[in-house]
Amino acid sequence: MTIQWFPGHMTKARRQIEEKLKLIDVVIELLDARIPLSSRNPMVDEILKDKPRLVLLNKNDLADPQVTADWVKYFADQGLPALPIDAATGTHVKEILPRVKQLWAHKIERQLSKGINPRAVRALIVGIPNVGKSTLINQLAGKKIAATGDKPGVTKGQQWIKVGTEMDLLDTPGILWPKFEDQMVGMRLAATGAIKEELLHLDEIALFVVKYMVQNYGAGIQERFGVQDLPEDLDDIQEMVKVMEAIGRKRGAIVSGGKVDLDKASLIIIRELRAGKMGRISLEKPSDKR
């Protein structure tokens, strides 16, 4: 799916989320653990206002655990509890309910003090396309729910999914849009598969990945692809291309005459990154310059 958000789309998506917000107590904001800020809607605070919110750093199986720990601290410093999970395997998914309940505990206590039997906390999952919303809903539901996430939703007749007896989850997530006018944000979204690579050139994305890996995961590149010397100057494109060529050669992306097919090498780099074959790699750190 090509994501091209126009102002009309954004207004509509925002209106749909605002409709859903009226029905719920707590928002579960799903981000990609590898690129938490780039996979975040920049207007999210304005849209969600003061709804209690739990941040989930999904696809943590693919992210660098140390960097993820830094992100958890980053969000905690902003007063937002954050939990790393893998929605696909269900790792840490069981910790979501107690965290959501914590955010709603004051309301439950108030109801109890008035002698009212507290109802289940109502939650909504929001996030950009491809971040794992449907996967998480299915995990929480414990069964396969029809993937209605990408279809325009109407709040009328909204279905609730029971997560145990203590949480009700809206069955259609709130779809937010990423903002990728910033070139680096666009690169990170494309590298992780959040936006179609057709929007950017494959070799450009691969070059971005290689540069980031040389800078942050150099030993891994050397070990995995047998690259001897890594470029010292990160802005030396010629040298970076040599690294891409070395990877391509190692993976057999050779055309007649023994030259490396850079397009093929680029595809291999991106596929291996997305499949976690190059190890657990994060493409954004809290300390990155913005």
Which residue's entry shows tokens 């007896």?
A: 165
Structure-token pair, residue 47: 């849209």
How far apart (Å, rounded) are the C-alpha atoms in residues 14 and 39?
17
Q: Which is nearer to ligand G4P, 10 or 88 (CB)?
A: 88
Q: Which is nearer to ligand G4P, 193 or 286 (CB)?
A: 193
Q: How far is the CB of 240 from ligand G4P (least distance, A)?
A: 26
Structure-token pair, residue 170: 């809206």
Q: How far is the CB of 85 from ligand G4P (least distance, A)?
A: 7
- Is residue 27 within 8 Å of residue 124, measured between CB atoms? yes
Closest CA to 28 of 120, 123, 94: 123
Q: Which is nearer to ligand G4P, 132 or 231 (CB)?
A: 132
Among 41, 135, 266, 282, binds ligand G4P (CB under 6 A): 135
In sequence order, the 6+-apart residues with CB closer than 8 A to the CB of 260 are: 244, 245, 248, 249, 253, 254
Length of the chain: 290
Examine residue 88 and tell whether it contacts ligand G4P (CB under 6 A): yes
Q: What is the separation, in whole angstroms, between the first and last Cα of the chain?
A: 28
Examine residue 133 and tell whether it contacts ligand G4P (CB under 6 A): yes
- Provide the 10 A C-beta neighbour count for residue 148: 14
Examine residue 87 and tell whether it contacts ligand G4P (CB under 6 A): yes
Which residue's entry shows tokens 């809903």?
A: 137
Examine residue 149 and tell whether it contacts ligand G4P (CB under 6 A): yes
Q: How far is the CB of 19 from ligand G4P (least distance, A)?
A: 19
Q: How far is the CB of 11 from ligand G4P (least distance, A)?
A: 20
Q: How far is the CB of 254 from ligand G4P (least distance, A)?
A: 28
Q: Which is nearer to ligand G4P, 36 or 149 (CB)?
A: 149
Closest CA to 173 of 152, 142, 194: 152
Q: Which is nearer to ligand G4P, 18 or 61 (CB)?
A: 61
Structure-token pair, residue 32: 């990609």
Count of residues near ligand G4P by CB under 6 A:
17
Residues 23-62 that bind ligand G4P (CB under 6 A): 58-59, 61-62
Residues 190-249 that bind ligand G4P (CB under 6 A): 193
Amino acid at 85: I
Maximum distance among all alpha carbons in the chain?
82
CA angle 247, 252, 257 (to 5 degrees): 105
Among 55, 57, 131, 240, binds ligand G4P (CB under 6 A): 131
Q: Which is nearer to ligand G4P, 118 or 193 (CB)?
A: 193
- Residues within the interface to ligand G4P (CB under 6 A): 58-59, 61-62, 86-88, 127, 129-135, 149, 193
